Structure 1
Amino acid sequence: MGGPALRQHHAHHAIHEGALSGAIDKTEELEILIQEGKSAEARLAADQLLGYWVTRVLSHADAEEEGFYEEMAGENPDLRLAVVKLTRDHDILRMIVADIVNELPKDGPAPDVMRLFYSLITINAIHSREEERLLFGEHSE
């Protein structure tokens, strides 16, 4: 079912914002290490960034899918369709993480891997915005 924070809009929003800002910061730090030619440090940072996506973002997605989405959708057919779409977003995030794991060279991240890290940020930002709009009635400006 997930914790009570999932059901409180302000707390749920804070979870999203904290996870996204952490991912952005860590991705930018990784980019700097690459630009500075610090391949060993960049490889370690990439591994840590992957771990961050798994423990902060994907674990949150798992918690949402373990009952929160169903609870929020209830019997509303529009919300049930929204839940399918939101779950698909999570699946896409999981697929990209798996691609990064498979493509990350031993000597550090290459440009194609960095594009995948940045795509995680973009997809997650859009997903979080849409999730809040659809499930909590938060309207974008």
Structure 2
Amino acid sequence: MGGPSLRQAHAHHAIHEGALSGAIAKTEELEELIRTNDPEAARLAADQLLGYWVTRVLSHADAEEEGFYEEMAGNDDERRLDVLRLTRDHDLMRMLAADIASALPSEGPTPEIMRKFQALIELNALHSREEERLLFGERPE
């Protein structure tokens, strides 16, 4: 079912903002390590960034899917369709993370992997905005 923060618009928004800002900061750190040509540090940072996505962002997605979405949708068919779309966003994020996880051990943080990290950021930002709009109404300030 997830904790009470999932059900409070401002708290939920704060979770989204914190996770996204952390992902952006860690991605920028990785990009800087790549620019300074420090492959060992870049490799470690890429592993840590992937771990962040899994433990911070995708675990939040899991918590939302463990009852919160169903609770928010209730018997409203339109909301159920919204929840289905939001769950698809989570699935896309999981696919990107899995692609990164499968390529990273052998290839390190290649340009293709960096595009996937950037795609995760963009997808997550759009998803969070839509989730807040669809499930809570207007976005909290």
Task: Please confirm whether the aligned pair reaches a TM-score higher than 0.5, indicating the same fold.
Answer: yes
Structure-2-length-normalised TM-score: 0.96
After the TM superposition, which segments of 4 or more aligned residues of structure 1 sit over 6 Å from their partners? Answer: none
Give the residue type in structure 1 aligned to 2:83: V
Cα deviation, 1:58-93, whole Å, max 9, x if unaligned, reads 000000000000000001111000000000000000
- Comparing 2-11 with 100-109, greater Cα deviation is found at 100-109
Contact map agreement 1:69 1:83 (CA 8 A) in 2: yes
Provide the rounded CA distance (Å) in 2 between the counterparts of 1:116 and 1:107.
14
Alpha-carbon separation, structure 2, partners of 1:28 and 1:42: 11
Gaps of 5+ in 1: none
Query: Whole-Å Cα distance in 2 between the matches of residues 27 and 138 of structure 1?
Result: 29
Report the equivalent of 2:35.
35
Q: Which residue of 1 aligns with 2:3?
A: 3
Would the aligned equivalents of 1:86 and 1:127 in 2 still touch at CA under 8 Å? yes
Residue in structure 2 matched with residue 15 of structure 1 by the alignment: 15
Hey, what's the Cα distance between the residues in 2 that align with 1:105 and 1:75?
45
TM-score by structure 1 length? 0.96
Return the alpha-carbon distance in structure 1 between the equivalents of residues 56 and 97 of structure 2. 13
1:63 is aligned with what amino acid?
A
Instruction: Please state how far the C-alpha of 1:108 moved relative to its aligned partner.
Output: 2.8
Q: How is 1:117-128 mapped onto 2 (pairs within 5 angstroms)?
A: 117-128=117-128
Q: Which residue of 1 aligns with 2:62?
A: 62
Identity of counterpart residues, as a percentage? 72
